[in-house]
Amino acid sequence: MGKNTKRNKKTKQPQQPPQQNGVTASASGTAVEDFEDQQAASLLPRLNGKKRSQLNKLVEELLNLVEKQPANPNEEWKQYEQLQRLLQQIMILEEPLSQTVCPQISDSPDDQTRLAKVEAFSAWAKDGGVHSEGLEIAIFPGYQLGLRSTRPLAKDELVLSVPRKLIFSEESNSDCRLFGKMTQATHLNLAYDLVIEKIRGEFSEWRTYIDVLPAKYSTVLYFTTKQMELLRGTAAASLALRQCRVIAKQYAFLYRYAHTMTEPSTGNRSHPGERGLFFTQHGLCYELYRWAVSTVMTRQNLVPSEKQESEDTPKLISALIPYWDMANHRQGKITSFYAAVPRQLECTAQEAVDAGEQFFIYYGDRSNTDLLVHNGFVDDYNLKDYVNIRVGLSLTDALAAKRASILDKLNIRHTAELRVLPAPDFISKELLAFVRVFKMSAEQLDHWCSDLERAGDLLHIDCALETDHETRTWQFLEDRLKLLLAVFNKEMQEANEVKELELKDGQEIELMLFLYRRLERSILAGALQYAQEHRKV
């Protein structure tokens, strides 16, 4: 993929690049690029042998810890506490490096600092072909930066377009790919590429864009142990803890490969992956990696690959889309699409917007659990919210095979996370059908297995079933919902609401977590009442 080749103004004047036969090497050649890579690396501090040895040991401990799969929620929590202690020790040792690579991360979040760099970014975007007439970047309380309309915008009006050359994707830095095609998770490749550009600093052609990105995020990777404890027992807890475990494992794997499994790299571009290894050895630290992963999680979108293997099955890859990714989320409809012929992302207004108002886009149908863990915010008006309940067939159930045959017909997994919904639906049809199958007697199973074509009827609330069977179904749901709601006992809920009122500035994560708990409790409580009413009928 092509990239914007406009260079940033530098605060320092680096040494002149090497000359060939008395002529400075062409900017399109590798000589200048190799020289800049060496310059970027020379600006980074080197850890002494003692600190490096301590880091090597801590990273091995980290890898050994995250390789273990916890058997239950209590073990998962204990593992997380150990993980946090190790990461804190690692970040202390890596502090000289992280302060250089991510100097603003150690400071308190300052929207004004980002806003001060917006003018240069807006000019960079315009020069690169971004069309954003009618929009400007501004500060909005509670949102940090966002897009503001400078004139009235009509519904469905095309208000923003970003050309392909300014879209940062995993195809932007294919020569840096350390592991080639080892992973199919394109967002991980994208995060790694962002790490490389961040390390390159003033020599990165993406520097102007990177400068306006948040210095830190409110994703679960930044939670303290005390903050994470507010999620214990909720539907988000396991997903959040698993996310922290997976990202720590990725960092540790990258670190070990760069520092204990390979020789120092020269950054020779003629060898695939060598340049990526060079930067990883010089600048990788956990603070940088969690920043890059959080940037990708909170801002990525999918665009078609420009290296399609087949026109029949377009390959989509993760990408960061400058300027467009400044837009915040609000309920509505998706109005951003990639236009293949002009090779650009195009965004229309999902609603009419008055001059001076914030311009929003819709991030898609996602639960608050997903938004919390991956985006670091909660939508209290989320019409597509739900709470997952984990259910599964028992391995010791003599009738499991017959239950499985009915579930297979319904395309429901034998062990699954199924949805509890807000009003007016409350219980998803898949959850209802699973529990109905789960509570069938041997005779009832024989009846339904004899005519599997009728299995779809089990998805409907008014399916004709025996009274005792329906009573068992709704009793199971009632008991399960009561168990989940026990986390939100009245005393704890009232105490949390009082705490929420007492929160001061700088505790946005706590506010978000209390809101999440309240929203999850509301969904579960509504479903419980619904189940109780149906059980009585």
- Predicted pLDDT at 153: 96
Q: How far apart are CA 339 and CA 345, in angstroms?
A: 6
Report whether pLDDT(381) > 60. yes
- Predicted pLDDT at 467: 93
Report whether pLDDT(21) > 50. no
Share of the chain above pLDDT 70, in %: 82
Domain CATH code at residue 499: 3.90.1420.10
Q: How far apart are CA 244 and CA 252, in angstroms?
A: 12
Residue 471 domain flag: yes
Contact 328, 146 (CB under 8 A): yes
- Which of 297, 333, 335 has its CA nearest to residue 318? 297
Contact 118, 111 (CB under 8 A): no
Q: List pLDDT tens digits, range 81-131.
A: 999 999 999 999 999 999 988 875 444 445 667 778 899 999 999 999 999
Report the interhelical angle of 286-299 vs 73-93 (nearest 10°): 120
- Predicted pLDDT at 184: 46
- Predicted pLDDT at 500: 66
- Grade residue 181 by pLDDT with cuts at 50, 70 and 90: very low
Share of the chain above pLDDT 90, in %: 66
Mean pLDDT (whole number) for 159-181 = 77
Residue 314 domain flag: no
- Which of 106, 86, 97, 103 has its CA nearest to residue 225? 86
The beta strand positions in 255-381, using DSSP E, are: 301-304, 316-320, 328-329, 336-339, 344-348, 358-361
The beta strand positions in 219-341, using DSSP E, are: 301-304, 316-320, 328-329, 336-339
Residue with tokens 């809101």: 515
Contact 421, 428 (CB under 8 A): yes
Mean pLDDT (whole number) for 388-410 = 96
**Alpha-carbon 419 to chain mean position:** 21
If one counts every other C-beta atom within 10 angstroms of the C-beta of residue 48, the result is 10
Residue 502 domain flag: yes
Residue 192 domain flag: no
Q: Number of folded domains in the chain?
A: 1
Mean pLDDT (whole number) for 248-261 = 88
- Grade residue 182 by pLDDT with cuts at 50, 70 and 90: very low
pTM, 2 dp: 0.86
Rg (C-alpha) for the chain, rounded Å, is 26
Residue 440 domain flag: yes
Question: For residues 183 and 33, which has the higher predicted lDDT (pLDDT)?
Answer: 33
Residue 238 domain flag: no
Q: List pLDDT tens digits, range 427-482.
A: 999 999 999 999 999 999 999 999 999 999 999 999 999 999 999 999 999 999 99
- Predicted pLDDT at 493: 64
- Predicted pLDDT at 41: 75
Contact 527, 423 (CB under 8 A): no
Report the interhelical angle of 400-409 vs 442-449 (nearest 10°): 40
- Predicted pLDDT at 490: 64
Residue 465 domain flag: yes
Domain containing residue 396: 387-536
Mean pLDDT (whole number) for 275-304 = 89
- Residue 330, token pair as written in the block: 């609000």
Look over the chain and give the mean of its residue pLDDT values, rounded to a whole number: 86
Torsion (CA) 170, 173, 175, 176 in degrees, nearest 10:
-90
- Among 101-110, 119-128, 191-200, 221-230, name the one with the lowest average pLDDT: 101-110
- Predicted pLDDT at 116: 81
Contact 267, 178 (CB under 8 A): no
Q: List pLDDT tens digits, range 56-94.
A: 999 999 999 999 999 999 999 999 999 999 999 999 999
Residue 443 domain flag: yes
Partners of residue 418 on adjacent β-strands = 389
- Predicted pLDDT at 171: 83
- Residue 242: partners with Cβ closer than 8 Å, 6 or more residues away: 76
- Grade residue 43 by pLDDT with cuts at 50, 70 and 90: confident
Q: How far apart are CA 172 and CA 230, in angstroms?
A: 39
- Grade residue 177 by pLDDT with cuts at 50, 70 and 90: low
- Predicted pLDDT at 30: 54
